Amino acid sequence: MSETGDVEFEPDAQYVAKLLAGTVGLAAIASLAGLKPPLPLLIPPLLSAITLVKKPELDLSTLKTRGGMNSELLAPAGVAAGCKPPPSGTAKVYPVDKQTLKDRFLRVIAAQPRTVLSVVSQDKETYGFVARSLLMQYPDLVTVSFLDVEPGQSSTLAIYSQSIYGQGDLGANKKRVTEWLAALDKEL
């Protein structure tokens, strides 16, 4: 069984390679047609390629700072406790064991467009994803940790979604977290 159970994710490096190949292909076609490809055509894949070296933070318990205007953090007490600004709130406690919560939420994330798996913690309890915007392919980093509340009976999660670029995200990270949790509620 894979790191994500029976849920399949496209690896981030593969996604970036396809994005770069598509851009180079378009530039080559434009060049062959005698057109000069516009420089802005190259910006999205180059900005997106940063995720090959910049990965989502997996240890939310040690998170100290986050972008206040371009991130969203929901975490139970004790997780990211010293973070400034503090978490926006907490995810609810789900009446299912941690493995069920993880399986269902990974299924929700796998259904999200332009979202790929980046990194998994050694204990396979924390997952890092890259979610990209539709038009410019700007990458956001998303970390999800699954936590027991009452082992075998109830569980919760911590989720941190952050933009790599810009000072503000127009609410994109908060919207993502809200939508993903709403989809999880439907799964459970």
Structural domain includes residue 81: yes
Mean pLDDT over the full length of the chain: 86
Structural domain includes residue 36: no
Structural domains counted in the chain: 1
Burial class for 29, CB neighbours closer than 10 Å (0-12, 13-18, 19+): exposed
Q: pLDDT tens for residues 71-129? A: 999 999 888 888 888 899 998 999 999 999 999 999 999 999 999 999 999 999 999 99
The stretch 53-68 carries a mean pLDDT of: 80
Structural domain includes residue 122: yes
Q: pLDDT tens for residues 168-181? A: 788 899 999 999 99
Whole-number pLDDT of residue 19:
72
Structural domain includes residue 22: no
Residue 12 CA to its chain's centroid (Å): 11
Domain carrying residue 163: 53-187
Structural domain includes residue 43: no
The stretch 52-69 carries a mean pLDDT of: 79
Rounded to two decimals, what is the model's pTM?
0.83
| Confidence at 39, pLDDT banded by 50, 70, 90 | low
Structural domain includes residue 38: no
Structural domain includes residue 14: no
pLDDT at residue 149 greater than cutoff 70 = yes
More confident residue, 2 or 179: 179
| Confidence at 4, pLDDT banded by 50, 70, 90 | low
| Confidence at 1, pLDDT banded by 50, 70, 90 | very low
CA distance 42 to 135: 13
CATH of the domain at 61: 3.30.310.80
User: In this structure, are residues 128 and 59 in contact, taking their beta carbons and an 8 Å threshold?
Assistant: no
Structural domain includes residue 68: yes
CA distance 117 to 125: 14
pLDDT at residue 8 greater than cutoff 80 = no
Contacts of 77 (CB under 8 A, 6+ apart): 90
